[in-house]
Structures are given as C-alpha cells and as structure tokens.
A = this chain, B = another copy of it.
C-alpha cells in the first residue's frame, strides 16, 4: 500500500519524519512517497529541503499523511491545494494528520461531525477552520473511522504507532518502538500536555 506524505513550504519537520520513521519499518506493507502541490524541492521550517512529486501524479492512493506547521496558516486559504487534498483524502483508505495538519483537513470539510484534535498552542485557530468538527482538546490522538488526528508534533509518532497497532497488532507496534528505542505512549486519551 502507498503511504503518501503531503508536503508544503514551512511544514514542521518532525510532524513528517516521526511517522515516516515508524512506517519505514514496515516496508513489506508500505511504500513511502512525498508529494506537494507543484512537486520539486519543498522546504520545512527547519530548513530541510525534500524532493517531492506533483500531487496530480500520485496515482495509487492508500494512506495519506498531512503534517502541520507554520505553513498551514497560508495553505488553509490556498483553494486549489485544499481541493486537491480533499480529492486525495476521499480516494485514500486512511487519512492521518499531525499537529495543525488537522486544520488543513478541516478545510476540506471531511472532518465535519467527526472527532479530531490538534496541537495545544494553535488549538483556537485550528477550531475556527471548521466549527462543525468535534474538536477534542485533551487527546494524544483521535481515531474516527478512517481518520486519525494527532496533537502537537511528537504526538504524531504515538499516533502512527497506534495506527500500526490497529492494522498490524500491538506486538508489531511495540517491536518498532523498541527498535528505535522510543517510549511509546500507547493510550490515545493520555495527553500529558493538557
């Protein structure tokens, strides 16, 4: 299955590469690729320049990961990008967001009536993107049907391990966490930052 990561200028570095580290341990199941609206090099807020493919060339869907970061402030108003995001999310089996990535997904309308979370510092701004979402401030991550949303930055790692546990069993998630010497917070409701 494809694991398609969406990039945009000023994405948050760890929002992307925490989940990618986890999913990369399951290369028998997932092929990771990176996409952006126009393709080419995309730069994170921490000056990481990553090569990406234009979104229209995605082809096979599967899982889509939408990170957050400072760039979301601009991208929520980028209508062609939000439209492309909606089409991608609709055609995907699973949609994962990290941090303020849920603001972008909220703008597509697909989170309406669903439980979702985001990071603490930007929470009020995120809520404004779609007030019909059942925003949950206290959550390490949320799962509602095929939508997973995590709270701030590092929470994306815990959520992705949770996604792995749901799909491949908790032993698989535990083995990956141990392999990267990571203490997994496995309880989606245990939010130490609220």
Contact surface of A with B, Cβ cutoff 8 Å: 12-14, 16-18, 20-21, 23-24, 31-34, 41, 44-51, 119-121, 151-155, 178-183, 185, 192-193
Please give the distance in Å from A32's CB to the nearest CB on chain B. Answer: 5
State the Cβ distance, A178 to closest chain B Cβ, in Å: 7
CB contact under 8 A between A14 and B180, given known A24-B47, A34-B49, A153-B21? yes
Least Cβ–Cβ distance between A187 and chain B, in angstroms: 13
Which of B21, B34, B178, B183 makes the CB contact (< 8 A) with A185? B183
User: Please, which residues of chain B bring their CB within 8 A of the CB of A178?
Assistant: 193
Task: Choose from B20, B47, B49, B185 the contact partner of A13 (Cβ within 8 Å).
Answer: B20
Instruction: Decide: B21 and A46 in contact? CB cutoff 8 A.
Output: yes
Expressed in whole angstroms, the Cα–Cα distance for A104 and B189 within the complex equals 41
A46, B34: Cβ atoms closer than 8 Å:
no
How many angstroms between the C-alpha atoms of A119 and B44 in the bound complex? 28
Q: Which residues of B contact A45 (CB under 8 A)?
A: 24
Supplied contacts A153-B182, A181-B192, 13 more A-B pairs, CB within 8 Å: A12-B21, A13-B24, A14-B17, A17-B48, A24-B44, A24-B45, A24-B46, A34-B48, A41-B51, A49-B50, A154-B180, A178-B193, A183-B185
